Structures are given as C-alpha cells and as structure tokens.
Amino acid sequence: MGDVIWIVGAGRGIGRCLALELARSGATVMASARNGAELEALREAAAGGAGRVVPLPLDVTDRAATARALAEIETTEGLPDTVVLNAGTHQAMPAARFDAGLCDRLFAVNVGGVINGLEAVIPRFVARRRGRIVTVASVAGYVGLPTAAPYSGSKAAVIAMCESLRPELAQFGVTVQVVNPGFVRTPLTDRNTFPMPFLMEPEAAARRIVEGMRGGGFEITFPRRFTWLMKALAMVPYPLLFALTRTAIPDEAKPAAATLPEAKDAR
C-alpha cells in the first residue's frame, strides 16, 4: 500500500497502532496530534519499515489550523488518498453533576474535530472524484449509557453524520466509513474502574480497521460479540432498555454517594 494517509489523533492508542500498521504496509502516514513528542516517538517506531510516518502536530479543534495542515500535506506529499479522523476524548459525567463545560470540551474534540476535518477534506475529494474518509466513533453511540451523556451523545452525532454523508459522497467517488469499536485498551479506557467485556488490544483493533478499510463497507466494528450485543440493546423497547442500563449505573453516581452541586443562579 503506497497511499498517502492522514491520521488525526495518531499520538496514542488506536491511532498510534493504526499509523504503525499502515506504515508497515508501505503507506506514507501523515500523523497529527497535539503532542509533538508522541508523534516523534511514533516516527521513530515506524523507521525502517516499508512506509514512513511524518509528524504534523495539530489541535483538531482549531478549524483554521486543520485546513492549513491539509494544505501543507497537499503541497508536500499530494492530496491524501485516505483521511482518518480519530481524535477523541472521554470523561465520565454523573447526571447529578451535569457539567456544560465538560460537554462542550468533549463535543469540541469528538464532534467539532470531525467537522473541522470534513470541511477541509470533502471539497478536495469531491473535486478529485476520489478519496476515503474514515471517522472513529464508538458503540457508545448506539445507545445512551450511564455517566456517558456527553460521550454517547457526541459519538451518536458522528455516526449520524457519516450515515448522511455516505450516499451523497458516493456519487463523487468518495467512500465514507465509520469505525465503532467496543472496549480497546488505551489511555482512555485505562481510567475505567468497571469491567470491560471482550477488551481488545489496540494492535488487534488497528488490524481490524485496516481490513475494514480495504473491504469498503460502511461500518467497521469490533469485537463482534460485544458490538452485536450493543446493537441488540439499541433495538429493545425503552422500558426494557432503561431497566438494563440502570443496572450499569456506578455506585458513585447513585443518590447515596452523589455530591450534588449547588444550583446556579440565572439572574
């Protein structure tokens, strides 16, 4: 694979392993993340392989900087064949401590970062009549989960956007794909204190993504046993759904343990 591939969110976790997997296959991987040191370490890890990693530091919440980054890639390497919009973050938020600022931060990265990338790349791919856009969402976007209102909401938004874009952009030769992972061992999931069924290693997740990209189907999801359970959960009637998700509420989010915030005065 001698393609030029731009990965946003390549500094760690799934994005890092995906960059290494693609570089090993011969791709030129333009790797973006906010942490330049992580990108340099990624470049060194990929050295000596069939392809290469080129660091391109970027804060994907900066729309103008995202557009400039793509323009730089186009100038130095040519317009990418594939763009992977992988940047994302998560922080639990118990409902009793609803935090608009936390919601804003998660949506800025998980949704705003995707939007900024799409705005930069879609016109170029449409004009060329070719390209692949891969966004990374989550099975948490299938159904709202306890303490994950901003995360589930942001990932549901990404999935819906991709569903809207796929048939339209196909008319211009542009393929849109969405990745919906279950639990994958990353610095984000390392924070979780609850059991994570069918936990996958990021290297295995990266291989599944590459296979899915080559297959061309809309959704790339794994591990299948878990993601099909989540799909089934999203289809049950709401009374049953809420009875099931209520059992997943962690102790720290229950009334006996919750520290209620003071009501904000709107005057």
- Residues annotated as catalytic are 151
Q: How far is CA 164 from the centre of its chain?
A: 17
Tokens of 258: 């919750």
Kindly tell me the burial class for residue 24, based on how many C-beta atoms sit within 10 Å of its own C-beta (0-12, 13-18, 19 or more).
middle
Query: Per this entry, what is the length of the chain?
Result: 267
- 104 by Cβ neighbours in 10 Å (0-12 / 13-18 / 19+) ranks as exposed
Contact call for residues 29 and 10 (beta carbons, < 8 A): yes
Q: Where are the beta strands (DSSP E) in the chain?
A: 4-8, 28-32, 52-55, 82-85, 131-136, 174-181, 219-222
Query: Distance (Å, rounded) from C-alpha 28 to C-alpha 19?
Result: 9
Q: How many Å apart are CA 181 and CA 179, to the nearest integer? A: 6
Nearest CA to 113 out of 139, 87, 90, 89 is that of 87
